[in-house]
Amino acid sequence: MFDQRFLKITLAVLLFHAGLLYLIQSGLGRKITEAVISPEIVARIIPLEPPQKPAETPKPQPEAPPRQVKITKPIPPQPQPRPTPTPVASLPPTPNAVEAPPAPPAPPAPPAPAPEPPAPAAAAAPRTIGAGEIQCEQPPPVYPKQAQRVGEMGKTTVRITLDETAKPVKTVVTVSSGSSRLDQAALDAAKRIRCKPYVNNGRAETVNVLQPFNFELN
Strands 207-215 and 127-130: parallel
* Helix or strand run (H / E) with residue 162: strand 154-162
Strands 136-137 and 198-200: unpaired
Using the predicted structure, report yes or no on whether residue 212 has a pLDDT greater than 60: yes
Residue 75 domain-assigned? no
Of the candidates 124, 208, 212, 204, the one whose C-alpha atom is nearest the C-alpha of residue 161 is: 208
Of the candidates 103, 158, 98, 91, the one whose C-alpha atom is nearest the C-alpha of residue 131 is: 158
Using the predicted structure, report yes or no on whether residue 43 has a pLDDT greater than 80: no
187 by DSSP, 3-state: which?
helix
CA separation (Å) from 152 to 52, 169, 174, 190?
Answer: 130, 29, 19, 20
Residue 101 domain-assigned? no
Contact of 122 with 157, CB cutoff 8 Å: no
Residue 89 domain-assigned? no
Residue 155 domain-assigned? yes
Domain that holds residue 204: 127-215
Rounded distance between C-alpha atoms, residue 32 and residue 14, angstroms: 21
Which CATH number goes with the domain that contains 195?
A: 3.30.2420.10
209 DSSP β-pair partners:
129, 160
Residue 157 domain-assigned? yes
pLDDT in tens, 128-179: 888 788 888 888 899 999 999 999 999 999 999 999 998 999 999 999 999 9
Residue 11 domain-assigned? yes
Query: Buried (b) or exposed (e) across 168-177, using 16+ Cβ within 10 A?
Result: beebebeeeb
Q: How many domains does the chain have?
A: 2
Q: Is the pTM of this model over 0.75?
A: no
pLDDT in tens, 112-132: 777 776 665 556 788 888 878
Written as one string, the DSSP assignment of 115-145 is PPPPPPPPPPPPEEEEGGGS-EE-PPPPPPH
pLDDT category, 53, cuts 50, 70, 90? low
Rounded distance between C-alpha atoms, residue 185 and residue 215, angstroms: 10
pLDDT in tens, 183-209: 999 999 999 999 889 888 889 999 999
Residue 170 domain-assigned? yes
Residue 190 domain-assigned? yes
Burial of 95 (0-12, 13-18, 19+ CB in 10 A): exposed
